[in-house]
Structure 1
Amino acid sequence: MSSVHAERRVKIGRGLFASTTALLGVAVALELHAGHYDTVVYPTISAALGVIGVVLTTRLPEHRISWVLAVTAFWGALGGLAFAYAYEALIVDPGSLPGGLAAAWLDNWWWLPGLALPPAALLLLMPDGHLASRRWWPVAAAVLAGTVLGSIAVSASPTFDLHAGTPIENPLARVGGVPVAAAGITGAILLAGGLLASLAAFIVRFRRSTDEERLQLRWVGLSLGVAVPLFLVGSLLWGVVPGAELLPAIAFLALPIGIAVAILKYRLYEIDLVINRSLVYGLMTVGIVAGYIAVVALVGSVLSSRGDFLLSAFVTGLVAVCFQPVRQRVQRFVNRLMYGERDDPYTAIAKLSRTLASSLQLDGVLANIVETIGETLALSYVGVALDAGNNTGLFEIAAEYGISGADSLTVPLIHQGAVLGELRFAPRPGERLRERDHRLISDLAPQVAAAAHALGLSRELQLARQRIVQLREEERRRIRRDLHDGLGPALAGLTFTLEAVRNLTGSDAERADALLVSATAQVQTMIGDVRRLIYGLRPPTLDQLGLAASLRGLAAQETTATTAVNVNTPASIPPLPAAVEVAAYWIAQEALTNVKRHARARSCSVRLAVESTILRLEIADNGAGLSNGSTGIGLHSMRERAAEVGGTCEIGVRTGGGTLVVASLPRLATEAVVG
């Protein structure tokens, strides 16, 4: 919008406010002259609405909502003047002012457009002054058509109500008839449907909104939470309780105030508690008033003979007794609506526990966890990021619920002192988590960490089973190959040799003897093959000599003129699992082979220590050490053998130079025996 056009709109807005002020001034003067001091509050409310309108038309002249509020204030001032003028002209001093009937006719129906059109327009146009989409145009058209038809029907009512003792007849009442009645019914249907659809449009836009737009709409929701209970209470008590007719007027002002704050100060948001309390006490107010009226109507018919005082005392006591439990129930309902189960930590933890207990598929555990936390605590995003491995310190998303935003918060997942990953979460757009919400999520994190740890163990177990099956099949294939390609043909050849010896025994003893010599050599070769097969399954020295002596035997084999290998073992070694003995033997052999081939070391030490739950094997040399990024087959083999029995094997640089291999293997805690 150009500056000239904007300035013109600002002037129009100020002129509209000046007209509103002038109309209100005349109306107040007439009210005071007539002695209607109790109705002066209505022009005051219109004046407040006019101030909101002029502020918005001055600061945001291009915004349609600014003009909706400004025109609404002007229309309210015009209606207030119509009532005051008609009362002065027809009741206080009949005939003193011209056009009294016309003013009474306007006062008879002006309220309907003033009550119907502004709320519908504000709900449809918030927060940017435009409809959410073209499909909402029929809603605006329905409200407008319903208002026009309803106003026609109301304007043709038989009398004018000017709060006087004698009603004043409407000259236009005879013009109505069936068409006007039909217009009234049609208008009421269109108006009711249009207002409900306007509210639905606001709710849809709120659910689809994000960031600042959602924050603006929350202020409108707050003002609705205040306005609706006040309007309903005022309508129910109209004419019953003195001053109750002021409540709908105040309610009508609540929505524009909330909208003005949303448009002008939309960055000042700390209204969760305000909305919560407004909903609670709004619902309580409506409930108590409705209950009061219902009890009065029900009990009054029975106890009317006992006097109004007894009836009022009974109803007051009943309401007082019921208020606190009802308030608590309403409070829990509103808290659950706004915060999910954050205000009930036991429920949140119980739901998560049930989710963990009912998750049958391992792959779906984390997905069920984040979904449960997200839905239970009413969060927009929940994610579990676990350690990616490879000692990178990075976390990868394992499961997530909702859409991640830039303002995600994190809680570390720690189990038994180890950081497994992070629990990431984000509140709904425009919402800020309270301190107790953070504490609840921190209390849920250990359960998530335990589930992640259990899931990791399950996956490791599955991988271990797969590795065992693969190793078993590889070992079977090797044995089958050795038997099929080596021992099997050798036995077949030996059979043929022995058959030949048998055939030559009587005719050629010298030839038969040569064949027996050959058969003996074949048998010796087969014996060596069988020993090799057995040795591949488990080194026989472990059964014959024990682990300590076997290690000393390896050291003796690898000792050369340039490299001395020393072995230090306990005097007694407790019984060890067979798999642990084999793993320690092969790790030591592989480490000593690497020392001999690559280290160029002058000395190497092998140390075996038995701890309470661990068998620790250390091989240290003073050679060249490991090169950066060393990933040889031998290094991988040592780590894999340790992992197969549930242990670890760390290979690194030795202090002072050289290589240090430390294997920690689990053992059974039994009494030591001589090894």
Structure 2
Amino acid sequence: MRAEAVRDQALRHATAWAVLVMTLSSAAFLAYLALYRAAPADGLPRVEILYAACQVLPYGLVGAVLVAKRPDLPFGWLLSLAALSLVIMVAVMGPAIWALETGHGSQLAVWGLTVGALAFVPVALQGLINVRFPSGRPSGRAGRLLDRVLCWGIVLVLVAGMLGDTTIGAVYPDGVPGGAERFVDGTPVVAVGNALSLAVPVVILLGVLAGLGVVVRCVRAEGLERKQLEWRAAGVVAALVMFPFAVTDGLPDWVAGVEPLLFVATLAVPVLRYDLWAIDTLIRRSASYTLGAGASGTVFENLVRAVAEMLRLPFVAVLHRDRVLASYGYECGRLERWPLVDHGEQVGTLVAAPRRGLSALDARDRQVLATVAQLVAGSVRAEALTADLLDARQRMVSAREEERRRLRRELHDGLGPLLTGLGLNLDAAQSYLQRDPARAASCLGNAKEASALVIGSLREVVYGLRPPALDDLGLVGALRLQVNRIAGDAGVSLELQAPDRLALPAAVEVAAFRTVVEAVTNAVRHSSGSRITVEIVPGPDDLTVTVCDDGATTEPWRPGVGLTGMRERAAELGGTFRAGPTPEGGRISAAYPLTRVPA
């Protein structure tokens, strides 16, 4: 996770890094030109100075551009590192050579000459870039192994150059002026360093293999990846053609500057022209935000944060209907939208704003955001289902509490006074029984009326919990008794189509009964039709209830208390509910699952 933190800081300061690299590379280029003009014929070979100058400027400039434009890919950072190695080399070796030439040499100046080993870094980093092109990561087990060997090979060669005297001998083949020495000179350490320098041709050979790997992957690739690889493969082939002439000094000095230009050109064009954003980098980055130390936020919040930071967009958000699942930044400018489609159904929207100062997103950013939209659609559906489940659970808990409150109110305000009156009448009848039998009989009559009211009120409470007819007659029998009475009182013809016996969970029975009764009542009250059809169809997984009438209407239905109650009953059981006018008349349909339903 520490590596992710370093990467995060690097991406945040990519622009500042690009400006720094560009400035230092330009200054180093001028310094190399000055050294080239002033180099004596018997000193540091002029062709090596020219080659370093031809490397530092294109590597630095192109590396800075790639860091600024595509900071998530390693290519700009590796080019910048190559340029900075040449900057350090001229910044240290220049003063060291001046000190030795003017008689001010010391052990420190001789150590400064060993920094010349950094001249090897740009060539070695070419191999790393080829291994990681175009995705930014090595492909396959062989690619990962080659990447690691190249990294350790570069470190080994640099250590060898610092300990050995090869680079010192390249500058002063006849010995260091003034006889200055390092404290390790004349010891076995120098011999060990020179022996380790044998790794140089090995690393160069591995770099050649990495270049050939680009050519092989280009031949095997298709589509966009092949277009990306064609440019780099062309650069590899051209470099391989020039390689034998370069090592045999068979080319003019000015040709030495062609190879670095060719390399950076064939790298920068596919990176800037084609979509080389690594989607897996976005996923790894958002995962690091979620799993890292001190992590906060949901997966969606961290994903939109990663997208916004890596594309440098001021605002990115994921929406589900009108609800914001996650957002990062501040909304500004004209927003662009991408539908989140899962299994053919739009489940949300990905929203992004263009960079400040631009009126629209460019084509590469749109491609990345479209790919992100495809990746997160399934997760948005799952998040939405989870949110709906939580909402349904909260509504169920609220409904349960409301039901308890209703029972308490009915028992306290309805049965309570009736039972109190019953008790008072019985007490009065007892007191008047001996001395006023007529008045006692009157009190007993009042008590009997109160008991009848108590029984009636109690039946209403019981019916509110579960209609007793369901236990006595079953769902179909209870419906026939209830809906035939409702339709008969209104003079409407009613047909009930249902099996004679149904074995259903208690919760489904109650929901189906109340839905049918409410739907028939609505049809009698609000429809102009003369016929109502009730159909109950049990299936292997659910029970479907349909109520239709022949009252034609073209106006949409306004959801009232009745429709809302029917919809909520279906939702509580995880079912579906549809209601509205049709060309044939009004239609209400509900489906209740028969599995995992509380009894």
Report what 1:242 is aligned to. 46
Question: What residue in structure 2 maps to residue 300 of structure 1?
Answer: 165
Residue 428 of structure 2 corresponds to which residue in structure 1?
500
CA distance in structure 1 between the aligned counterparts of 2:433 and 2:158, rounded to whole angstroms:
128
Q: Are positions 1:570 and 2:499 aligned together?
A: yes
TM-score normalised over the length of structure 1: 0.52
Deviates more, 1:272-281 or 1:344-353: 272-281
* Cα deviation digits, residues 502-554 of structure 1 (max 9, x gap): 23333343433333233222211111111111111111111222212222222
Identity of aligned residues (%): 28
Residue 554 of structure 1 contacts residue 589 of structure 1 at CA under 8 Å; is this kept in 2? yes
SS in 1 for 2:347: strand
Is 1:637 paired with 2:561? no
The alignment status of 1:383 with 2:316, answered yes or no, reads yes
State how 1:484-523 maps to structure 2 within 5 Å: 484-523=412-451
The one-letter amino acid of 1:573's match is: L
Please state how far the C-alpha of 1:569 moved relative to its aligned partner.
0.8
Secondary structure of the structure 2 residue equivalent to 1:414? strand
Amino acid at match of 2:487: T
Shift of 1:607: 0.6
Deviations 1:588-610 (A, max 9, x none): 11111111111121100001111
The Cα shift of 1:248 comes to 8.2
2:588 alignment partner, one of 658, 661, 664: 661
Determine helix, strand or coil for the equivalent of 1:543.
helix
Change (3 A) 1:626 1:661: farther
Question: 2:542 is matched by which residue type in structure 1?
Answer: I
Question: Once structures 1 and 2 are overlaid, which stretch shifts more, 628-637 or 542-551?
Answer: 628-637
Following the alignment from structure 1 to structure 2, what is the Cα–Cα distance between the partners of residues 359 and 614? 47
Quick check: 1:620 aligned with 2:548?
A: yes
* Structure number with higher relative contact order (C-alpha < 8 Å, ≥ 6 residues apart): 2
- The residue identity in structure 2 corresponding to 1:642 is A
Range that drifts further, 658-667 or 282-291: 282-291
Tell me the CA shift for residue 562 of structure 1: 3.4
- CA 1:273–1:537 in structure 2 vs 1: closer, same or farther (change >3 Å)? closer
Instruction: Map Cα deviations across residues 389-422 of structure 1 (whole Å, 9 max, x no partner).
Output: 5xxxxxx654332456768665432345432222
Q: Does 1:288 align with 2:119?
A: yes
The question of whether the paired residues in 2 share the 8 Å contact of 1:223 and 1:254 is answered with no
Note the residue ranges of structure 1 that are not aligned, 5 or more in a row. 1-203, 209-216, 263-268, 390-395, 671-675
Partner of 1:536: 464
In structure 1, how many angstroms separate the alpha carbons of the residues matched to 2:381 and 2:294?
16
Q: Which residue of 2 aligns with 1:163?
A: none
Query: Which of 277, 282, 286 lines up with 1:352 in the alignment?
Result: 286
Matches for 1:100-115 after TM superposition, within 5 Å: none
Select the residue among 301, 324, 338 that pairs with 1:367. 301
What is the count of residue pairs matched by the alignment? Answer: 428
Task: Specify whether residues 624 and 581 from structure 1 end up closer, same or farther in structure 2 by C-alpha distance, changes over 3 A only.
Answer: same
Contact (CA 8 Å) 1:225, 1:278: kept in 2 or not? no
In structure 2, relative to structure 1, the CA distance for the partners of 1:496 and 1:366 (3 Å cut) is: same
Kept in 1: contact 2:350–2:373 (CA 8 A): yes
Whole-angstrom distance in 2 between the partners of 1:505 and 1:223 = 114
Q: How does 1:408-419 map to 2 (within 5 A)?
A: 410-419=337-346
Cα distance in 1 for residues equivalent to 2:402 and 2:206: 72
For structure 2, list consecutive stretches of 5 or more residues without a partner in the other structure: 1-11, 90-117, 122-153, 174-190, 215-263
Contact conserved, 2:338 with 2:351, CA < 8 A, in 1? yes
| Paired AA for residue 200 in structure 2 | V
Matches within 5 A, 1:208-227: 227=26
Supply the AA of the counterpart residue of 2:45.
V
- Cα RMSD (Å) of the superposition? 5.1
Deviations 1:536-577 (A, max 9, x none): 11111112222122222222112236311111113442322x
Q: CA deviation at 1:386?
A: 1.6
Which of 423, 428, 432 lines up with 2:350 in the alignment?
423
2:526 corresponds to: 598
**Conserved? CA contact 1:494–1:522, under 8 Å:** yes
Distance 1:363 1:541 in 2: 52
Tell me how far 1:448 sits from its aligned partner.
Answer: 3.3
The answer (yes or no) to whether the contact 2:165–2:194 under 8 Å persists in 1 is: no
Query: Are 1:401 and 2:328 an aligned pair?
Result: yes
What SS does structure 1 have at the residue aligned with 2:420? helix
* Equivalent residue number for residue 203 of structure 2: 322
Q: How many Å separate the matches in 2 of 1:508 and 1:406?
A: 92
For the 8 Å contact 1:601–1:621, the answer to whether it is kept is: yes
In structure 1, the partner of 2:247 is none
Secondary structure in 1 matching 2:202: helix
Q: TM-score, normalised by structure 2?
A: 0.58
Contact (CA 8 Å) 1:380, 1:403: kept in 2 or not? no
CA distance 1:316–1:586, shift in 2 (3 Å): same
1:555 to 1:359, Cα distance in 2 relative to 1, 3 A:
farther
| Cα deviation, residue 466, structure 1 | 3.1
